[in-house]
Amino acid sequence: MAKNYFKSYIWLLETLQSRGPLTLAQIRQLWRRSSVNDLGSDLPARTFANHIEAIFDIFGIEIVCDRRDNTYRIVNEEDMDGTGIRSWMLDALCLNSLLNESAGMKDRIIFESVPSSHQFLSIVIQAIRDKRKLKVRYQGYRMDQERTFELEPYFIREYKRRWYLYGHKDYDKDCKPHMYALDRMLEVEILPDTFKVPEGLDAKAWFQSLYGVRKYDDMKIQQVLLKVYGKQVRYFRSLPLHSSQEEVETHKGFSVFSYNLAPDYDFKQDVLSFGDTIEVLEPMSLRNAMREHVAKLSELYGCI
């Protein structure tokens, strides 16, 4: 049922965004003709009101009625083009909705699959929305045996075709969010018990200096300078490596980009993936670490 509701939410957002303010009668008429509406059912006023409330709870997007002409519109439409977790989730769900609407073109639109979204994503989102605890049967890749525990789900993140849940486990002493990968969950159940999100916990701020998916107490934010060569500069301009990216120097043949982040394992791996088109300038500790990685690669391939 949750999956069908998500289709309805996305359809409603796309319809209001593309067609502008609409009356409830117009929305209901369009809904009856929509391919998302598999059963050709009506959209009762109460269900429509529930959809509006759920869209605000999940995406933070507000739909209001203008009483002058009884039309509905999106108030904060700019949020649909924002950044962060909400935008990632909305983009993924909108793409799925678009493919359903354009069934005849699905063989000509190729995108990467996110396996971890297939089984538990809708359940996790529902629990986050309703502030309900989860009972999770889990086995990480480094765990010899599976474990079952209760979890307070705070927020989620999609990263490199995997979904990650951040929350508080029942027997952890602190209330800091810890990461749990959805593709390592074996079973998930929503419990009747509710919880309160720790005061002051903001997902956007929590991820601000984080590059990858793990956060450790000893991670320190540093200014990182990358020297990017040739045509790779255009790639960095069009798709920043991190939200803190700034182009601080521009020269013929290269540019220097600045970042404020904790250079973790994922960051180092991504920098290495660009090969000889990127050079770490600062901090020196990161430059030395990259030099060691390159030396090990050279040894592995018999270059030394």
Domain ranges of the chain: 2-108, 115-207, 222-300
5-14, 191-200, 232-241, 252-261: lowest mean pLDDT where? 5-14
Q: What is the C-alpha to C-alpha distance for residues 100 and 106, in angstroms, rounded to an integer?
A: 8
Q: Which residues pair with 279 in a beta bridge?
A: 227
pLDDT at residue 109 greater than cutoff 80 = no
pLDDT in the model for residue 117? 58
Q: What is the C-alpha to C-alpha distance for residues 181 and 111, in angstroms, rounded to an integer?
A: 21
% of residues, the chain, pLDDT over 90: 34
pLDDT at residue 89 greater than cutoff 60 = no
pLDDT at residue 122 greater than cutoff 80 = no
Q: Are 248 and 258 in contact (CB under 8 A)?
A: yes
Q: Which two tokens stand for residue 167?
A: 């929350």
Alpha-helical segments (H) within the chain? 2-19, 24-33, 45-59, 85-101, 121-130, 203-207, 232-238, 265-273, 284-300
15-29, 63-77, 202-216: lowest mean pLDDT where? 202-216
pLDDT at residue 60 greater than cutoff 80 = no
User: Taking the CA atoms of the chain, what radius of gyration do you get in angstroms?
Assistant: 23
Amino acid (one-letter) located at 299: E
Q: Which range among 55-64, 121-130, 221-230 has the greatest average pLDDT? A: 221-230
Q: What is the largest CA-CA distance in the chain?
A: 77
pLDDT in the model for residue 101? 54
Query: Number of C-alpha atoms within 13 angstroms, CB side, residue 216?
Result: 8
Q: How many CB atoms within 10 Å of residue 18?
A: 7
Rounded to an integer, the average pLDDT of 24-42 is 86
Residues 89, 186, 160, 126: what is their CA dihedral angle, to the nearest 10 degrees? 10
For β-strands 178-181 and 162-169, DSSP reports them as antiparallel
pLDDT in the model for residue 114? 67
Higher pLDDT, 220 or 237: 237
pLDDT in the model for residue 252? 93
Q: What is the C-alpha to C-alpha distance for residues 201 and 155, in angstroms, rounded to an integer?
A: 10
Question: What is the topology classification, in CATH, of domain 115-207?
Answer: SH3 type barrels. (2.30.30)
Higher pLDDT, 302 or 237: 237
Q: What is the C-alpha to C-alpha distance for residues 17 and 12, in angstroms, rounded to an integer?
A: 8
pLDDT at residue 116 greater than cutoff 70 = no
Q: Which CATH class is domain 2-108?
A: mainly alpha
Q: What is the C-alpha to C-alpha distance for residues 50 and 43, in angstroms, rounded to an integer?
A: 11
Q: What is the C-alpha to C-alpha distance for residues 162 and 181, in angstroms, rounded to an integer?
A: 7
pLDDT at residue 38 greater than cutoff 80 = no
Q: Which range among 91-100, 104-113, 135-144, 266-275 has the greatest average pLDDT? A: 266-275
Mean pLDDT of the chain: 83
